[in-house]
Structure 1
Amino acid sequence: MKSIKLRYTKLFSAKILLSALLLVGCESYLDRAPEADITEKVAFGNFNSFQGFVEEMYGCIMDPNKGGAWNPYLFADETLNNSPYAFDNGNYWGAESYFYGQSVNTTNNDSRTKRIWEYAWYAIRKSNIALEKLDQEGLFQGTQEEKDHLRGQALFFRGWFYFEICRYWGGMPYINRVLSPTEEMTTEEFKRLSFQETAKKMAADFRAAADLLPVHWDKSQPGQATMGHNRDRINKFHALGYLGKSLLYAASPMINQEATGVNAFDPELSKQAAEAFGELLKLADETGQYKLQPWASWTDIFWRWNWERPGGTEAIMMPTVFQRDRVRWSALGGTVPSSFGLNSGTSADVPTHNFIKNYGMANGLPIDDPNSGFNPSDPWTGREPRFYKDIVVDGDQIHNAAGNDRFAQLYNGGFHRNQINPPSVTGYYAKRYSPIGPNFTTSLANALQAYVPYLRLSDIYLMYAEAVNFSPNGGPKAVASNYTLTAEKAVNMIRNRAQLPDLLAKYTTSKDSFFEEIVRERAVELAFEGARFCDLRRWNRNADPRYLNKTAIDFNRGANGKPINLSERLVVKRAVERKHNWLPVQVAFTRMYKDFPQNPGW
């Protein structure tokens, strides 16, 4: 599996691609000398060269858990590490290896050099350049379909990179033109907007992109040159998905409260989000291009052996792959027992006991339902199927080799709990991206491919349910105006795929009771995918006491192998205030001009 960027480097003239990239290597392109070797006509005059320019935007998409040898990317209540997370202590200035701190270099295929802040702004500038060149009369010579493909990608990327910035730092000035490096940033155009205001501008770009982009590049004339290699290219589904997602975020309580003072979902924005998701789901039904992954191969969404690309039938947007051999040292190495020798032995991200409580029982009930059958003295028996796909508990076989690593020893004093450095600090390991089990070997690990999806179909179904639930006249039994699926049925589709029965009627009697099941379902279905931190914040639940305590499970192993003397132990209480709705903006940027203020509380 190779990244789109690398494929296009091979498929198009290297000289033309390099020429296109050089045009935005720095702002000096604005005043380059007349005798410069490369003319705009060469760089932007035909589809192949122009698409090479657009390809650099794909190279700005970060691979979330590979920004270092291992970098934390889960900032809510899901995981703990042997080293404290800065975010758990309320220090949102931290996590540089995910958010910021690198100069942009799009010719460097090292995933460890990619960051959100710098690369997003760079890509936004590139998208504006692309749109300007497409509008320049007489410059681009190609078909209308080719022009639509180029414009659609540029519009999508402008909206998408704004979404990536804004979901962490809040609203921003929405720059939709190429700026001169000498112009004064003193007009209304450069004032920071609220997230809701910015999201409406993103939505306009996503809507325009959806109207221009193909359903699949393989079925369009411009995609013929790369037939069979177009799976990751931005298409109509990407644009519709993020149209809905940006509107749903804008509708959410924290963001709506920031904009209007109302700590509740905005019904009209929820309705618009539901219609965007409904349009996508209807298109998926009609084309079959994206489908829910069958349960038997559910893990194909997240990982594959032998260098094969994961994503399955339902991943719509995946990270750009920069280094296939980084998986062993990052997604895998930072989450498996350090005794496996797959990383430097300094980091181990493991699930928290409090988060694991979100996984219900095989009968479909939450563990706190009095009829669930959950036994706190035997807490890992009878749990729902995703629990056993995601979580390693004491006694599970995790390696095919003999010795201490063959079976998980996570009891008090056990090999993986106290005798390795670092150990599991909670009594669990996660395996969504680290498929340790009876067949696991180091040689297999070397060729593992595991990537965190940005957008997949199950997320769309759950967001559709949430948006429909809070639309005018919404609720569990309601539907979007353009799609016949009820909100309740959308959630049940995800549950049924995981071999669970439909929600009981008592959980669908009101918007509020149904929403609590959406919250829990998103926690489980999207576990370890980076959604949780944004979800809790947009729902105004980041400081909710239910999500603050990060705990471990202490226990001994009984003679029959079952846990005894179980005790939940508080490891850290997350420090959260109102200011933690958004990350702080780096001080250097807040000093650029007076209308770019710091986020409240920072």
Structure 2
Amino acid sequence: MKRYSFMIIACSLMLAIAGMTGCTRYLDRAPAADVSPTDAFINFNNFQGFTEELYSLVPEYTSKTWACNWILGDEIIHKTGVTWLNEQLDNGDSWSWTTGEWISWLDAPGYNPDPTTGFGKGLWPNSWYGIHKANLGLANIDKLSGTQEEKDLIKGQLLFFRGWFHFELMTYWGGLPFIDTVLSPSVKLEIPRLSCQAMADRVASDFRAAADLLPINWDNTDAGKATLGKNQLRLTKLAALGYLGKNYLYAGSPLMNRSSTGNAGFDANYCKKSAEAFAELLKLVDNGQTWVKLADFSHYSDLFYTNGGSFIPGYPEAIFQNPVYSSWFAGCPWGPSSVFAEGNIGGGYASPNARFVENYGMANGLPIDDPESGYNPNDPWVNRDPRFYHDIVIDRDQIIKGSAPADKEKFRYANLATNGFSRDNSAIGRTGYLLRKLTPMTANNIDNFPNNYMHLSYMRLADVYLMYAEAVLQGYGSATSTGPDYISAEAALNKVRARCGAGMVAAKFVADKEKFMSEIIRERAMELGFEEEFRYNDLRRWLLAGQLKYREKTAIDFDRDVNGKPINIKERVLVTRKFEDKNYWLPLKINDVNLYLEFPQNPGY
């Protein structure tokens, strides 16, 4: 900690100037900014330029890594013989988040101030730098000469980012010091680590204040007129409320509650606070006060990729996203989740875990293991949830869209049977499935890889509905409770299902708190799987990551009958993740925990 504070304080004059280049498309620097760092704070134009560097500190995890290497949960398994972080976690090695710069978006050798690329962005170093920069801005907020709106916009963004970086650190490493001042190198560091809930309380204060200052829509502000129609990525009241609710929900979840109090259950009071924050956000959506809404299922893919289009993926559902950079893998056969037809030539080394695919229920809304679901294990891919067909490539799916040479025509349809040509048991297709959620089907070596850009949201509206449902259930004890004068948990979950046309939650699940929670767990898997770290963090905060069914990554082996139907279907375990109780948190860097006594290592490391 001391090492970071000394570095950033010593460089503060240089960084105050460099920070103003963080969004040159928005505003120009003052003519004297290169010689006087105080110019960064004298007017809105310059202060906004200073503030916008904070946006560039948010890691773009899909550019930092590739081949779905940002996914740390149970959704995927990679080709054999690789050393990516997902595989290291499977081996029980949580230290690997920092043992190789290229291996994870959680770390990087140092801060990279280049705003034109997503490379070099590591959550751990960027968070400490971002906290310092936010504190530096807040310490100088009184120097800003401008309208009240301009002052509110600057302060709201600074408070949001200070809260956000602390929240992200807590999510992966547990309770840490909360830094709310500009640290001086002359002051002895004795800032203690807080409990998760104590840290969450401090974070909540920042998010609440930010929500009260930020606009619902930048287009409706005088300052936002400078970038009218291009404000999709800017912080809003909705982002602050969304993270206020998420912060409280995490604080009330079993892992954080156990870490703070020893109680491994949900904390109802924190869950109620979470539900209140989410309700405030969702009422703005319901009243049409924001452009944010659930995307139509016919445009569901627009939430994840462009397929050659010129828009930013995520609209109109994204609530918080990192900046858009020119991605190195646009149109590249080694993109994070490309589908390959001809013997899987190229990259695309990630396959969906067959065990995770079982989360996708039936079209009637029931899980496949429910006796009333209609699921037929001998014909397993019929009448499944619509998201199953959107996300997963199954045997005999059409892969090639355009014309193909005669000798390539056989590759038009996937052959994922045990000995099929789409099945590489050491690489892609090794589980009997391919992934199609994040890239178009034309991302193959015959349809020539469209100029596709993938951009995933840190928070989107469907996630909020599902977090709200969980907060109401655990805060008020019932799926039918309307909680903070808003809709019930049942209604919130069903909004997400209704969007894709799946069946509503069955009454027998609604009537039982534990069964309804199991449906929330499954719904979050179907809706948010393969995106960012929703699943990894969910399984950890629920204290479920150690259970065997979430540690096993499997394949399905099968043959085809004369009609092409799957027969002799068997599940085979490929990998069982090694997991101890200590693995619920990542370890802190050894050099950092040796800085001072009040900054100890996480238990077990």
Match of 1:79 among 76, 79, 83: 76
Separation of aligned partners in 1, 2:281 and 2:27 = 32
1:159 aligns with 2:163: yes
Letter in 1 for 2:542: W
**Corresponding position of 1:417:** 423
**Corresponding position of 1:356:** 357
**Corresponding position of 2:596:** 593
Q: Map 1:9-28 to 2 at 5 A.
A: 9-14=24-29, 19=33
Q: Map 1:70-469 to 2 at 5 A.
A: 70=67, 72-83=69-80, 85-95=87-97, 96-107=103-114, 109-135=116-142, 139-186=143-190, 190-286=191-287, 287-306=289-308, 307-329=310-332, 332-337=335-340, 339=342, 345=347, 348-400=349-401, 401-402=403-404, 403=408, 404-418=410-424, 422-436=427-441, 445-469=449-473
Change (3 A) 1:405 1:196: farther
Secondary structure of 1:416 counterpart: coil
Change (3 A) 1:227 1:89: same
Deviation sequence 1:516-543 (CA, Å, 0-9, x none): 1101101101111120110011011111
Separation of aligned partners in 2, 1:245 and 1:355 = 24
Kept after mapping to 1: 8 A contact 2:416/2:422: yes
Letter in 1 for 2:134: S
Kept after mapping to 2: 8 A contact 1:216/1:235: yes
CA displacement at 1:99 relative to structure 2? 1.0
Runs of 5+ consecutive residues of structure 1 not aligned to the other structure: 23-36
**Corresponding position of 2:41:** 44
CA displacement at 1:329 relative to structure 2? 4.4
Letter in 1 for 2:112: N
Q: Map 1:473-492 to 2 at 5 A.
A: 473-481=476-484, 483-492=485-494
**Corresponding position of 2:13:** none
Kept after mapping to 1: 8 A contact 2:344/2:428: no
Separation of aligned partners in 1, 2:201 and 2:118 = 31
Kept after mapping to 2: 8 A contact 1:462/1:490: yes
**Corresponding position of 1:25:** none
Separation of aligned partners in 2, 1:10 and 1:470 = 44
Matched length: 569
Letter in 2 for 1:428: Y
CA displacement at 1:5 relative to structure 2? 9.8
Letter in 1 for 2:315: G
Greater mean deviation of Cα atoms: 577-586 or 325-334: 325-334
CA displacement at 1:406 relative to structure 2? 2.2
Change (3 A) 1:235 1:108: closer
Letter in 1 for 2:161: F
Kept after mapping to 2: 8 A contact 1:358/1:524: yes
Change (3 A) 1:527 1:49: same
Kept after mapping to 1: 8 A contact 2:20/2:29: no
CA displacement at 1:112 relative to structure 2? 2.6
Secondary structure of 1:470 counterpart: helix
TM-score by length of 1: 0.90
Match of 1:576 among 574, 579, 586: 579
Change (3 A) 1:338 1:440: closer
Letter in 1 for 2:58: I
* CA RMSD across the alignment: 2.3
Letter in 2 for 1:191: P
Deviation sequence 1:549-581 (CA, Å, 0-9, x none): 111111122221211221100001111111011
CA displacement at 1:79 relative to structure 2? 0.6
Separation of aligned partners in 1, 2:342 and 2:183 = 52
Separation of aligned partners in 2, 1:144 and 1:340 = 61
Change (3 A) 1:409 1:112: farther
Kept after mapping to 2: 8 A contact 1:69/1:330: no
Separation of aligned partners in 2, 1:13 and 1:555 = 61
Kept after mapping to 2: 8 A contact 1:337/1:348: no
Separation of aligned partners in 1, 2:416 and 2:577 = 24
Separation of aligned partners in 2, 1:330 and 1:270 = 44
Identity %: 42
Change (3 A) 1:271 1:393: same
**Corresponding position of 1:30:** none
Separation of aligned partners in 1, 2:343 and 2:349 = 12
Runs of 5+ consecutive residues of structure 2 not aligned to the other structure: 1-18, 98-102
Secondary structure of 1:597 counterpart: coil
Secondary structure of 1:159 counterpart: helix
1:531 aligns with 2:538: no
Change (3 A) 1:7 1:339: farther
Separation of aligned partners in 2, 1:559 and 1:451 = 42
Separation of aligned partners in 1, 2:479 and 2:566 = 39
TM-score by length of 2: 0.90
Kept after mapping to 1: 8 A contact 2:400/2:447: no
**Corresponding position of 1:518:** 520
Letter in 2 for 1:9: T
CA displacement at 1:440 relative to structure 2? 6.5
Kept after mapping to 1: 8 A contact 2:345/2:445: no
CA displacement at 1:14 relative to structure 2? 4.9
Kept after mapping to 1: 8 A contact 2:65/2:104: yes
